[in-house]
Amino acid sequence: MTEQNLNDQELRRLEELRLLEESGINPYPYSYDKTHSATQILSSFSDENPEPLSNVSVAGRIVSIRKMGKATFSHILDSTSKIQIYFRKDDLPEFYELMKNLDMGDIIGVKGFVFRTKMGEISIHAKEATVLCKSIKILPTPKEEVDEQGNKVIHDAFADKELRYRKRYIDLIVNPQIRETFIKRSKIIAEIRKYFDERGWLEVETPILQPLYGGATARPFITHHNALDIDLFLRIADELYLKRLIAGGFEGVYEISKNFRNEGMDKMHNPEFSALEIYVAYKDYNWMMNMTEELISRLVQKIHDSYKINYNGQEIDFTPPFKRVKMFDLFRELTGKDIKGEPRENLLAVARELGVEVDSNASTMKILDEIFGQKLQPDLIQPTFIIDYPVEMSPLAKKHRTEEGLVERYELFVYGFEVANAFSELNDPRDQRARFEEQASIRAAGDEEAMVLDEDFLNALEIGMPPTAGLGIGIDRLVMLITGEVSIRDVILFPQMRPENS
């Protein structure tokens, strides 16, 4: 921060800072004893008995100032809410003088008594006040109005998305609804941990730097370890490590994992994102489906106090049980015929008939995926489990116990996007090796995203992994649904951005 780069307002604030110090004030003191949060005061004040709140202290950032000569009204914002402070020159003459050198954005502590103003707002009448931090840079100044219907109207909101994402700390200060979103995100994750911990499953940490990447189909980020002089990959998933732990004897493990995928960014994708994976021994995908339903509906209930939410203008009902549909039954509904096991050429013809855009050399798996993605997935608005996928689409899932050519896998779709993916885990090492080899040939044919054979993971399966059910949930998308946000950037505190000065 050089003085040349500052505008007139900022230079003025530096001058105020100097004046404060000159008058013996430390503008950056070490601590402050606050007795209450703003919310605690607002929710516990009673007009009949204000006595319990006759001597409180609060701290927060000045977000509005209305000076009226020898009295001033101001709102300060703490982590819970805004609260109005009433300053009278008669009550604190020295601080009142000092207030000339305070601005919007400064942080202060206030001691006083709680009362209700003529206009009906619960406020603190200041008896003592302390500067806790002087702000040099200017905050945006949105104004809040309450119209006749009692609705909040925000004027001049800080709305520039680029600035909001790059300077999230400003966004959090001036856009209270964003703060709410991230509080909800934290609650959702805490609730997930609580649910799993109650059941005795172990939260574990597995490597982010992996010598081989696996557990999903995606292009990885590559980095280099100097001491070992080897390239390492940032994980695209933690699946293969968690399954090693099940082989190692843990019966329930989960990890909330940052994964990294070197692919495009849009409102559904950020290069680093959070995923939950959980593996439970001696269970299958049917059991896991019930667990998923219970977990997700419970999360919605905890946040909304209801199973029904509104997402992007659409009511979504998370009341269990969720709809369950076999994938090929959906295909049958769409096409009027059973396309399971059809040769590639026939599937291609079906796709063309439906107007699905698909490359003529696309694999069987790709064609099915395209038909599903373009024709079926967008209509899966209400929570729906899609069950039993073709084996080619699922190299880590166990073959179906009765259906030839399928695996025991389901995905949960809500509002047209995938929220969860789970299967009865493949634990036959011979089959797993064959699937990896199949992936290798797909890779050789030019698909960079096909899975890489992981010999050590196969070794773990050869040592023996019990029957296991596994589940992955995209945390960011789940948070989007539950908080009503339509862009992943609004549920990630610091979304990836291109650097400003390149």
Partner RNA sequence: GAUCCCGUAGCUCAGGUGGUAGAGCAUUUGACUUUUAAUCAAAGGGCCGUAGGUUCGAGUCCUACCGGGAUCACCA
Chain residues 358-387 in contact with RNA, contact rule CB under 7 A: 373, 377
- β 152-155/314-317 pair status: unpaired
- Asked whether 354 and 371 are in contact (CB, 8 A), the reply is yes
Instruction: Please give the DSSP secondary-structure letter assigned to residue 100.
Output: G
| Strand partners for 72 | 67, 87
258 counts as binding RNA under rule CB under 7 A: no
Residues 470-489 vs RNA: string with x where CB under 7 A? ----x------------x-x
Cα 317 from Cα 46, distance rounded (Å): 38
Stretch of residues binding RNA (CB under 7 A), selected from 81-89, 197-205, 299-307, 428-436: 81-89
List the one residue from 216, 242, 278, 412 that touches RNA (CB under 7 A). 216
With CA atoms as reference, report the closest residue to 112 among 36, 29, 46, 27: 36
How many binding residues for RNA (CB under 7 A)? Answer: 74
Shortest distance in whole angstroms from residue 364 CB to RNA: 14
290 counts as binding RNA under rule CB under 7 A: no
With CA atoms as reference, report the closest residue to 491 among 179, 237, 154: 179
Stretch of residues binding RNA (CB under 7 A), selected from 162-170, 276-284, 311-319, 426-434: 162-170
CA distances 195 to 133, 153, 225, 418, Å, are 40, 39, 37, 22
Between 336 and 499, CB nearer to RNA = 499
Stretch of residues binding RNA (CB under 7 A), selected from 157-165, 282-290, 298-306, 454-462: 157-165
- Asked whether 390 and 408 are in contact (CB, 8 A), the reply is no
Between 10 and 251, CB nearer to RNA = 10
Between 192 and 475, CB nearer to RNA = 475
90 counts as binding RNA under rule CB under 7 A: yes
List the one residue from 123, 384, 424, 439 that touches RNA (CB under 7 A). 123
Stretch of residues binding RNA (CB under 7 A), selected from 158-166, 192-200, 293-301, 320-328: 158-166
443 counts as binding RNA under rule CB under 7 A: no
Left, alpha or beta for 308 (phi > 0: left; psi -120 to 50: alpha)?
A: beta
List the one residue from 1, 49, 69, 151 that touches RNA (CB under 7 A). 69
Give Cβ neighbours of residue 56 (< 8 Å, ≥ 6 apart): 35, 36, 41, 111, 112, 113, 114, 124
Instruction: Give the total residue count for the chain.
Output: 502
Cα 381 from Cα 416, distance rounded (Å): 5
125 counts as binding RNA under rule CB under 7 A: yes
338 counts as binding RNA under rule CB under 7 A: no
65 counts as binding RNA under rule CB under 7 A: yes
> Hey, what amino acid is at 135?
S
Between 427 and 439, CB nearer to RNA = 439
19 counts as binding RNA under rule CB under 7 A: no
155 counts as binding RNA under rule CB under 7 A: yes
Instruction: Please give the DSSP secondary-structure letter assigned to residue 205.
Output: -
End-to-end CA distance of the chain, in Å? Answer: 20
424 counts as binding RNA under rule CB under 7 A: no
Residues 133-152 vs RNA: string with x where CB under 7 A? -----xxxxxxxxx------
